Structure 1
């Protein structure tokens, strides 16, 4: 995270956050948060086993089938949320999480 491209990205994030009214220390923390969220999502996406060209709906269906095999008696909360968990690989889930992150950063804006 200290190469010239990473530093340039961080600098742009810091500038955007500062332009939006976030104080310097909070901007630095927020930039890190955004980078970790986005890179973490990309890493999980890359690690998810699926054939190239597999649609999002097909990936959800495969994940739903895998979660259906989870023993309900050991993991009742997981079993009760299979549809939500299966959709972790969706653009909608990524956007939902990013919105929550941005909502939190927005609260840091100096009035």
Structure 2
């Protein structure tokens, strides 16, 4: 998949990336939260939601593409600890415009492109 970053931003909420495929103009939006120690399900959902809103502002500058965009809320962690906490995060749905997507959980070290290619 030929993909390149068209926008990347990091703030206190989380990191987010807007990718565009060279073969078509469909934006691929990845909201990525990195966790190393303390994993709080409600805090992670809030950070991903805030990141989603920020990414929508970026895409708002190109309103024709935002409804067609692919959205991936991702949490990367060194370890997940309790299974119940991991399940709560994995089952959380993040709003992106009119779409809701379930949170994708992976271990640190997985690349964004590897993660989304496994989902297709």
Question: Same-fold call, TM > 0.5?
Answer: no
Tell which structure's C-alpha radius of gyration is larger: 1
TM-score, length of structure 2 as denominator length: 0.27
Larger % of strand: which? 2
Larger % of helix: which? 1
TM-score, length of structure 1 as denominator length: 0.28
